[in-house]
Chains A and B, each alone.
Chain A
Amino acid sequence: DIQMTQSPSSLSASVGDRITITCRSSQIISSYLNWYQQRPGKAPKLLIYAASSLQSGVPSRFSGSGSGTDFTLTISGLQPEDFATYYCQQSYSVPRTFGRGTKVEIK
């Protein structure tokens, strides 16, 4: 199985901040990397697919980059609704695997 390692596991930030979350895969996965947001008690929501493509309806303050084994999710100008947990997920091979999540909390 491909292991997905996210960092940090949590971070505190303020409204308006720019934050970056990192995801590293245990083997090369090209650009087969997706990012999800999960608010408490809710299902995950797709934000970014294919490492850098913005899902329809997702605000442009979200962006993704990377390829190979190293990926980042950036939120430029945090909004109150962005405080949530974020997961990366590889779609290179089966079984699909997720990172353990990064919880973004209000400072």
Chain B
Amino acid sequence: QVQLQESGPGLVKASQTLSLTCTVSGGSISSGTFYWTWIRQPAGKGLEWIGRIFTTGDTNYNPSLKSRVTISVDTSKNQFSLKLTSVTAADTAVYYCARVNCGGGDCSFDYWGQGTLVTVSS
């Protein structure tokens, strides 16, 4: 059973960099028709896709965040990471990492981490 777990500071000061790591267990991050993604959800609001990374290192980002986001992967640790620079209160949200499964003729987010709340303080 694949499991994902987010980790990182729960409190970040405005203008600084938010850094989170997602650790994948129960399977290799490099195997299969999978890639890896970050999604966030402000309190009481909907879901926003941040970006994705293939194990080749190729990435795609949401244009709304592209200038501030970097997603990277460390296959030796079975982890992938998110960095978001110059954060503001608008970046306060629960951040989820998820696996993207493209094996069914479609790409869907089939496994999710439990989510981690990141609060941006002034």
* Residues of chain A at the chain B interface (Cβ within 8 Å): 1, 31-34, 36, 42-46, 49-51, 53, 55, 87, 89, 91, 94-101
Contacts A42-B114, A49-B106, A101-B46 supplied; 13 other A-B pairs, CB < 8 Å: A1-B63, A31-B106, A33-B106, A43-B112, A55-B110, A89-B47, A91-B108, A94-B52, A95-B60, A95-B62, A96-B37, A99-B46, A100-B46
Task: Check B107 against A43 for contact (C-beta < 8 Å).
Answer: no
**Interface contact B46-A91, CB-CB below 8 Å:** no
Secondary structure dominating the interface of A: loop
* Interfacial residues, chain B to chain A (CB-CB below 8 A): 37, 46-49, 52, 60-64, 96, 101, 104-110, 112-115
CB pair B114 A32 closer than 8 Å:
no
A33 to chain B: which residues have CB within 8 Å?
106
Residues of chain B contacted by A46 (CB below 8 angstroms) = 108-110
B107 & A91 in contact (Cβ 8 Å cutoff): yes
Tell me if B46 and A98 are in contact (CB < 8 A): yes
Q: Which residue of B lies closest to A47 (CB)?
A: B108
Once the chains bind, are A44 and B46 in contact (CB under 8 Å)? no
Q: How far is the CB of B81 from chain A (nearest CB, A)?
A: 19
CB nearest to B102 among chain A residues: A91
**A50 closest partner in B (C-beta):** B106
What residue in chain A is nearest B6 (Cβ atoms)? A43
A96 touches B49 (CB 8 A): yes
Chain A residues within 8 Å of B46, by CB? 87, 98-101
B106 to chain A: which residues have CB within 8 Å? 31-34, 49-51, 53, 91
B contact residues around A32 at 8 Å (CB): 106-107
For this complex, 22 residue pairs linking A to B, each with C-beta atoms less than 8 Å apart, are: A34-B106, A34-B108, A34-B109, A36-B109, A42-B114, A44-B112, A46-B110, A49-B106, A49-B108, A49-B110, A50-B108, A53-B106, A89-B108, A91-B107, A91-B108, A95-B61, A95-B63, A95-B64, A97-B49, A98-B46, A98-B49, A99-B46
